[in-house]
Structure 1
Amino acid sequence: MPNMPSSTALIHYAARAGDHNDRAMAATPYLAAALAAHLGVAPTTVGSPSPSDPSGWDAELAFALPAFKELATALDRALDAKRYPVTACSRCAPAIATLPVIARYHPDVLAVWFDAHADLNTPENSETAYLGGMALSGPLGMWDSGLGAGLKSAVLVGARDIDATETPVIDGERIRLIAPGANLVEDLKKAVAGHKVYVHLDCDVLSPGQMPTDYKVPDGLSLEQLGAAIAAIAQVAEVVGVEIGELETGETEEETKAKAKKLVETVSPLLVAQYGQQAQ
């Protein structure tokens, strides 16, 4: 098959990205190590940790911009070499850099956004000025991040903490919401069937206690439901890459290792290159 990638490219984004605290930066080496062990490939590390210093979106973006550009370049190189990209991120904000690259190579891609939040705020309407809250809106062209756009459509999966300013743009066509509930897996399956998709996973899509993460939003997915959703995507869609973020360190190093390994096991159906596969 002409589009079949030759291998997997594992990228470890290690730098600050609008962080409220340092725990996600501290967790990414464990996530990258778990992914490396599962995939049998060594990661390419982008950036390095620096102490969190929460401020407005513009200051955070300016600080993160060199690492974001390096991340975009790493992803561009992987896709140009027809390698399947798997990225371990600290937070969700690096999607500002990754999704425009994905959209350039796959103009018809559907972003599947697993997150407790919609991340559709813009600099003009955000009440918190939090960079991560704009992580999806930038690639969708709702504001100019300086890193490009090009993403045409997205499916929000598991979002339940949605701001009043975000609700009007979730139109069911360009941006669709699949809320937590008994029908989530079947609804998701219908939404992505036959599509080319890129999967973004924030750990806070899960109910509190499933994974250590910054935000603890009730009534999320269980690990079992997430696993079923991931398996459904792999069955009916052509997956062109995956990125994982918002895992924080646990109480001990052993807990962090165990949680990272469990997370990788849960998403394992997406860790196999599927370019050129015919959707079922």
Structure 2
Amino acid sequence: MRETLTLIQAAAWIGQRKEGTNLAPGWLKHRGLLDVLRKTFLTIDDLPELRETLLEEEDQIFAEHFSARAYNFPSVAKYNRHLSTLVEEQMNLLNFVLTVGGDHSIALGTLSGVLRANPNTKIIWVDAHTDINTPETSPSGNIHGMPLSFLMKLYQHPMTDEYLDFVPRLDPKNVIVIGARDIDKGEVELITKTGMTVYTSKEVKAYGIETVIKEARKKLDPYNKDPFHISFDVDGIDPTYAPSTGTAVAGGLTLNEAKYLIEDVRRTGRLNSMDLVEINPMLGTQEDLQTTLDTTFSLIQSLKAPESKTKNDPNQQTAKKLPLNLN
């Protein structure tokens, strides 16, 4: 894996309605993030926070017209345009790019930059939700639940096409969701339509994380040659381990399961980038915040896993065929 890390601080919250995710990068740095990273990477390139900007008048008119279906869409699109350029530049420098959010709408920018740098990149999306709603199917209108649909070009509208012209199309077969357990009805239909693979948290418990991640990598990269990106929403983990997040859902991955997932992909030597999103230091008690902080740093430390496999590596087990289970 790459030895120089670029830290991108995506200080954004407007892809949903709970302020605080924009504070996460600064909060994590204040609590020791850079020290954790220095134990994992030889060199750290710490970039300034990328903050949201106010809308121009014509954007505000569109926002008011469109807000019920896609909250703050023009601002989210403009922010992610800048973010995608930043990510692409750093990927082309052959740095490992860690983007700390921010809500999960920032994946519009990170994945766009990653895919422009290398269109063959495979995406592992860890989340309690599948984030494939469109403005037509979303019950909330929050864009942090829509990035995969925009990346897959599932929603066509003249204005969204214009604002998202920087977004390359993500082939559904190049992304796998792991840990989902709160999937909207409209999303089930879109998952079926696109053929996107989803491994629910129930399947992780039933088959084991070792089997699930091995099967996921086999589906995404059968010839063991393409780079990986992990987009990790902390609500993919059970709220026991990460309570300070906005859309927590019980029954998620354990911390050990989440760490194993990252370590497994890290061992391929082709994990080149990662997002860590939806940490909200404005939510929960001091104990909740400390628990979430400890979990976050533990996940980041998983990037230090060795690249060579051992004889006792459980990932060497024969993978079972996993059925899609959305129940």
What's the TM-score, normalizing by structure 1? 0.84
Aligned partners of 1:216 and 1:189: how far apart in 2? 26
Pick the aligned partner of 2:213 from 178, 185, 188.
Answer: 188
Aligned partners of 2:6 and 2:184: how far apart in 1? 35
Question: More helix per residue: 1 or 2?
Answer: 2
Give the CA deviation at 1:125: 2.3
Q: Aligned pair count?
A: 271
The two structures, once aligned, show a CA RMSD in angstroms of 3.1
Give the CA deviation at 1:258: 5.9
Matched residue, 1:39: 37
Aligned partners of 2:68 and 2:34: how far apart in 1? 34
Matched residue, 1:140: 152
Distance 1:179 1:58, change over 3 A: closer
Aligned partners of 1:159 and 1:21: how far apart in 2? 21
Q: Which runs of no fewer than 5 residues in structure 2 stay unpaired?
A: 39-43, 55-63, 156-160, 219-223, 308-315, 317-327
Aligned partners of 1:43 and 1:234: how far apart in 2? 23
Pick the aligned partner of 1:231 from 263, 272, 291.
Answer: 263
Matched residue, 2:58: none
SS at match of 2:180: coil
Give the CA deviation at 1:256: 3.4
The amino acid that maps onto 2:6 is A
Pick the aligned partner of 1:205 from 236, 242, 249.
Answer: 236
Conserved 8 A contact 1:12-1:46: yes
SS at match of 1:242: strand
Give the CA deviation at 1:261: 4.2
Give the CA deviation at 1:115: 0.5
Give the CA deviation at 1:268: 2.3
Is residue 267 of structure 1 aligned with residue 300 of structure 2?
yes
Aligned partners of 1:231 and 1:172: how far apart in 2? 32
- Map 1:209-220 to 2 at 5 A: 209-211=240-242, 212-220=244-252
Larger radius of gyration: 2
Moved more, 20-29 or 167-176: 167-176
Q: Tell me the alpha carbon deviations over residues 157-216 of structure 1, each in whole angstroms, 9 at most, x when there is no partner.
A: 000111111113335985111111242411122211435211001111112232111112
Aligned partners of 1:6 and 1:236: how far apart in 2? 15
Is residue 244 of structure 1 aligned with residue 242 of structure 2?
no
SS at match of 2:104: coil
Moved more, 36-45 or 131-140: 36-45
Give the CA deviation at 1:8: 1.3
Aligned partners of 1:174 and 1:92: how far apart in 2? 22
Give the CA deviation at 1:119: 0.6
Is residue 121 of structure 1 aligned with residue 133 of structure 2?
yes
Moved more, 155-164 or 233-242: 233-242
Give the CA deviation at 1:251: 4.4
Pick the aligned partner of 1:179 from 195, 200, 205.
Answer: 200
Distance 1:220 1:251, change over 3 A: closer
SS at match of 2:18: coil
Aligned partners of 1:203 and 1:267: how far apart in 2? 12
Q: Which runs of no fewer than 5 residues in structure 1 stay unpaired?
A: 275-279
Q: Tell me the alpha carbon deviations over residues 114-172 of structure 1, each in whole angstroms, 9 at most, x when there is no partner.
A: 00000111123223222111111111222346141322221100001111111133359
Aligned partners of 1:224 and 1:202: how far apart in 2? 16
What's the TM-score, normalizing by structure 2? 0.73
